[in-house]
Amino acid sequence: MPSRNTIKKDILDMYEAGKVKTMLELEANEGRVAITTDMWTSDHQNRGYMVVIAYYVDNSWTLQKCIIRFEYVPTPHTSDVIATRLMKCFLDWNFDRKLMSITIDNCSVNDGVVELLLDRLGSDTLVVDGAFFHMRCCAHILNLIVKDGLSVIGDGIERIRQSVIFWSALTYKDVFLRCVQLHGDPSYKHLTTEDDWTFRGKICEKLVLFYEMTEDFSGKKYSTANLYFPHICSIRKYWSVVNGIMSVATLLDPRYKTDFLECYFEDIYGVDAEYELEKIVQLCRDLVKEYEAKMLSGSEPQFFSTTSSHTVVANKGNFEKQFEPQFPILQAIARDIYAISVSTVASESSFSTGGRLVNPQCNRLHPSTVEALACCQSWLIAEKESISNETSSNYEYDEIEASSNID
């Protein structure tokens, strides 16, 4: 049986080999890289870890996701410390000039991190001078909205909960009043009102909507950028600021056009709808000019794979079309924008892996070993899924070809 040191060496060797392979894939990729990051404190080690996940659309128009860092970050976790660690990560992985955006939670520390990164990266390396570099986590915003909504009827929810507990989990609202009339138990002090039940019904309807939105925003195997605007419009009363680059993502989705934005902008902005819509159209023009200039200068690729962007654009779709690229500039824009993740759910999910690695039995693992295990697991899963998707695509292509021959 191999010794502890032998196993550790094998793990670190596997990590180094996987890192080199992943770096080569990122360097060969023609599109930009979008980042999500989050912090986690291990209960069993009392150490803070930072995960960094890279998203990109590869040369076959498939959305890829991989953990590139699972790094121990000593306290204090200030904006400068986190920004320095992230900047070192970007430089080590050699995509500091290929960044599209960074998606992080909403807090003052992270706002400071973004400001420092923008200053250190330089606006000339980012799209539209970094105007849309900062992407706030939509799932976190939804969570804040739900918490605010529940706080309004907090007392009513508590009365319902206490009533259910007191009367042995009876599920009918009329039973509570009937039980009081029959038993007259003086210790029962949580009688619900009709308003409590009315609010409960309305809140439950909204919670279903928020749950479905969170599910879509948390997707890992399909682009979420094009889902942002349609979902935000459904709760426009609670969401006043619309990220401009996400509106462009909606325009690039073949299911939505400018008329779609115009319809909802009237509800969101009222008399300012026309002005706000013109800002989005102008942003599209600016993006085209910027990408065109970079292509002519040779700093951006001028040709992409012949696989259609429908693979990424279509939410959870599995169809593809082969065609010669007619609009390389729009393809480049779509490819970079659809790499953006609108939530940090994947980052938080990786902490579940970290929790299993740093458990009560393995709380002495060195941070470098924890990082190697977390990253290797991510890379091996991605490799397995890539092989599975390739096999599935070949099978579907063979079926279509066979069907065409029969016809």
Q: What is the DSSP string of 186-220?
A: TT------HHHHHHHHHHHHHHHHHHHHHHHHT-S
In this structure, what are the phi and psi dihedrals at residue 134, rounded to the nearest 5 degrees? -90, 115
Convert 151-180 to b/e letters by CB count within 10 Å (16 or more is b). eebeebbebbeebeebbeeeeeeeebeebe
Could you tell me the residue ranges of all domains in the chain?
4-137+344-406, 138-218, 219-339
CATH number at 4-137+344-406: 3.30.420
Residues 6+ apart with CB under 8 A from 284: 248, 251
Question: What pLDDT, in 10s, does the model give residues 187-232?
Answer: 555 566 666 667 767 777 777 888 888 888 887 778 888 888 777 7
pLDDT at 238: 56
Mean pLDDT of the chain: 77
Query: Does 367 sit behind a cis peptide bond, omega within 30 degrees of 0 on the bond before it?
Result: no
Contact assessment for residue 380 and residue 14, using Cβ atoms and an 8 Å cutoff:
no
Contact assessment for residue 280 and residue 299, using Cβ atoms and an 8 Å cutoff:
no
Question: What pLDDT, in 10s, does the model give residues 246-280?
Answer: 888 888 888 887 788 888 788 777 888 888 888 88
pLDDT surpassing 90 at residue 42: no
In this structure, what are the phi and psi dihedrals at residue 130, rounded to the nearest 5 degrees? 80, 15
Higher-confidence position of 273 and 306: 273
Question: What percentage of residues in the chain have a pLDDT greater than 70?
Answer: 71
Q: Which tokens hold the place of 203?
A: 């809140």
pLDDT surpassing 70 at residue 367: yes
The DSSP line for 240-274 is ----HHHHHHHHHSTT--HHHHHHHHHHHHGGGHH
Q: Which tokens hold the place of 58?
A: 């590869």
Convert 23-50 to b/e letters by CB count within 10 Å (16 or more is b). eebbeebbbbbbbbbbbbebeebebbbb
Contact assessment for residue 262 and residue 251, using Cβ atoms and an 8 Å cutoff:
no
pTM for the whole structure: 0.78
pLDDT at 153: 67
Once rounded to an integer, what is the mean pLDDT over residues 51-80? 90
Q: Give the range among 135-144, 209-218, 306-315, 328-337 with minimum mean pLDDT.
A: 306-315
Element (H, E) at 40: strand 33-41
Convert 77-112 to b/e letters by CB count within 10 Å (16 or more is b). eebebbbbbbbebbeebebbebbbbbbbbeeebbee
C-alpha span between 191 and 159 (Å, rounded):
7
pLDDT at 78: 92
Residues 6+ apart with CB under 8 A from 173: 192, 197
Once rounded to an integer, what is the mean pLDDT over residues 29-55? 86
In this structure, what are the phi and psi dihedrals at residue 233, rounded to the nearest 5 degrees? -65, -30
